[in-house]
Amino acid sequence: MKVSQGVEWTLHCVTLLALAPGGVPVRREQLAGHYGLPEAYLAKHLQAATKAGILRATPGPKGGYQLGRPAADITVLDVVEAIEGSARPFICQEIRQQGTGALPPESCERQCQINVVMNNADNAWRSSLRATTVADIAGGLPDEIVERNKKLLAR
Amino acid sequence: MKVSQGVEWTLHCVTLLALAPGGVPVRREQLAGHYGLPEAYLAKHLQAATKAGILRATPGPKGGYQLGRPAADITVLDVVEAIEGSARPFICQEIRQQGTGALPPESCERQCQINVVMNNADNAWRSSLRATTVADIAGGLPDEIVERNKKLLAR
DNA sequence: GCTATCCCGGATACTAGATATCCGGGATAG
DNA sequence: CTATCCCGGATATCTAGTATCCGGGATAGC
């Protein structure tokens, strides 16, 4: 169980973009520099977020990244799934149907109990992530930090 | 985000041991054969479970694995943590303190908002896994399957 | 004691996914 | 037309999970 750092990077970038005055585009280089991240690799994650509709990318001069929709409509889960995919973390291999103790298919119409438990936990995790939006995170920042970031983005 | 297959294997084995008549030891070879698993690798996971106190291993003839404590006192989370470790899946890299937008340490006394959200989700996941015990899983199995497995273990 | 059985734990190898970089191509503003 | 800036494929590296093997030690039964 491990959440990739790309999720952290993208969450920070998306939150920062939510503070951009007037939602003006921010260049990739500026985003990477703001958090001291490798621009080339960050690009991959921003691309994924763009493909998912979380971000909107504008090419050319004056271009850059903006939020793809209002910050209040972007949940943390949206970002996580954009970067990590939406596959379940536990995939039942149906080993109950293998080996000398293999159960016949007719005994396996119902899902494996273990699979149910693991999926329930995954649902709880996702529900928790879905309950918070990027607007919530941005709104929870102290005013001084918001002002500081806005000032940096304005340059 | 991915749960290793070792967790699935160990959960199945522990559940099976909960069905062993009289809690008699079951050999590793038998466990591996029951589910068609590679014995050498399964050994690693069983060792980890033993170290965590979930299983008890007896060497020598008539030896094998038994539950280390009553099935009702073994939660699914116990097994997951025995195999995967108890480290949090999200580790905050504090990138808010790096790059051109770096915040001064005095602005970072409180945890990063993003870290809080991710940890809350992790807590929800763990709580869900803690709510089910191996006894629950074993008890949820249809009688025919329980009987079938008991018969195989008796051999 | 002696021996057959069975688990422990370290060493090793392979694989998949995450991390990281580069570059040609295409879109846009001025 | 040109400078700017993102897209997407190719490539390289590193880490963690998967998988196997073997010498060592503990136990039961004779």
The pLDDT tens digits for A82-118 are: 999 999 999 999 999 999 999 999 999 999 999 999 9
Q: Is B98 in Cβ contact with A152 (below 8 Å)?
A: no
The answer on pLDDT for B155 being more than 80 is no
Name the β-bridge partners of A58: A64
The letter for the amino acid at A5 is Q
Give the separation between CA B103 and CA B95, rounded to whole angstroms: 9
3-state secondary structure chain B: CCCCHHHHHHHHHHHHHHCCHHHCCECHHHHHHHHCCCHHHHHHHHHHHHHCCCEEEECCCCCEEEECCCHHHCEHHHHHHHHHCCCCCCCCCCHHHCCCCCCCHHHCCCCCHHHHHHHHHHHHHHHHHHCCEHHHHHHCCCHHHHHHHHHHHHC
Look at residues B18, B31, B27, B77 and name the one whose alpha carbon lies nearest to residue B52: B77
Q: Is the CB of A58 under 7 A from strand D?
A: yes
Residue A154 is predicted with a pLDDT of: 83
Residue A144 CA, nucleotide D27 C1', distance (Å): 68
- Does the reported pTM lie above 0.85? yes
Look at residues A72, A57, A52, A55 and name the one whose alpha carbon lies nearest to residue A137: A72
Residue A51 CA, nucleotide D2 C1', distance (Å): 29
Q: Is the CB of B36 under 7 A from strand D?
A: no
Residue A5 CA, nucleotide C24 C1', distance (Å): 28
B119 token code pair: 């940890």
Residue A107 is predicted with a pLDDT of: 92
Q: Is A113 in Cβ contact with B141 (below 8 Å)?
A: yes
Using a CB-CB cut-off of 8 Å, the residues of chain B touching A8 are 90, 92-93, 95, 114
Q: Give the whole-number percent of chain B exceeding pLDDT 90.
A: 98
Q: Is the CB of A59 under 7 A from strand D?
A: yes
pLDDT digits (tens, 9 = 90+) for B79-127: 999 999 999 999 999 999 999 999 999 999 999 999 999 999 999 999 9
3-state secondary structure B52-67: CCCEEEECCCCCEEEE
Q: Which residue from B minimizes the CA distance to A37?
A: B99
Q: Is B128 in Cβ contact with A124 (below 8 Å)?
A: yes
